[in-house]
Amino acid sequence: MRSYFIKTPGFIMRFFSKYTWRLPVNSNEIFLTFDDGPTPEITEFVLSELKKYNAKATFFCIGKNIKKQSNTFNKIISEGHAIGNHTQKHLQGWKTNNQKYLKSVLECEHIIANWSQKVNNSKLFRPPYGKIRKSQARSLLKNGYKIVMWDVLSGDFDSSISNEQCLQNVLKNTRNGSIVVFHDSVKAAEKIKYALPRVLKALSDKGFSFSKIE
């Protein structure tokens, strides 16, 4: 049984109102986001598909993956996309004490700055698994971070759903200003290779553009 929301309920967005769930925009803009990279081949595939539509996106990167895939990381930046912090080792906030969790965020922040010539200090943050303690969030917000969540979850990480269901999760729930979650990871590879090109085409045909979060 699915244990997550495809479309984030309004009451959750209202209760956690200090987090960013979607963005107020005047034009037909959508904000595609990609978690857990950079990953060999998968991130390169994502970048190639985005380029076909002149689409910009936001990549929430894991610090240890940046070190392993620094060339791909810098390609993300050179092609005009935004970078976000996804902790150093993909920590789950509910299961991690505050000191260790915040240290992991800071380590990732330093990696982002040290391994790129164009990103000095990324203050976009997405908690792995979408799970973060209120005390952890308070510390990050106090230190200038924007905690970016989502209102549409593709489900590309879920082996129990089909490629087509992943696609429909996005197409049926995305609206103007939506923040949509994909994963440029090995686990999500099959579904993202199926869904992403079709999402870009279908939503472009409806007049939407794709922007990065700033």
Confidence of residue 119 (pLDDT cuts 50, 70, 90): low
Calculate the alpha carbon distances from 104 to 35, 54, 119, 126, 143 in Å.
16, 33, 18, 13, 14
Is 35 noted as a catalytic residue in this protein?
yes
Q: What is the DSSP letter of 207?
A: T
State yes or no: pLDDT of 34 exceeds 90.
Answer: yes
Q: Which of 35, 156, 158, 184 is catalytic?
A: 35
Asked if residue 1 has pLDDT above 50, the reply is no
Q: List the catalytic residue out of 36, 86, 156, 183.
A: 183
Question: What phi and psi, each to the nearest 5 degrees, are found at residue 193?
Answer: -70, -30
pLDDT at 120 over 80: no
Q: Average pLDDT for residues 53-71, to the nearest whole number? A: 96
pLDDT for residue 30 is more than 80: yes
Measure CA 56 to chain center: 12
Query: Which domains, and CATH codes, for the chain?
Result: 10-210 (3.20.20.370)
Residue 85's DSSP bridge partners are: 61, 125
74-90 pLDDT, tens per residue?
Answer: 999 999 999 999 999 99
Q: Which residue(s) pair with 82 in the sheet?
A: 58
Separation of alpha carbons 149 and 168, rounded Å:
20
Report yes or no: 74 and 98 within 8 Å, Cβ to Cβ: no
183 counts as catalytic: yes
State the average pLDDT for the chain. 95
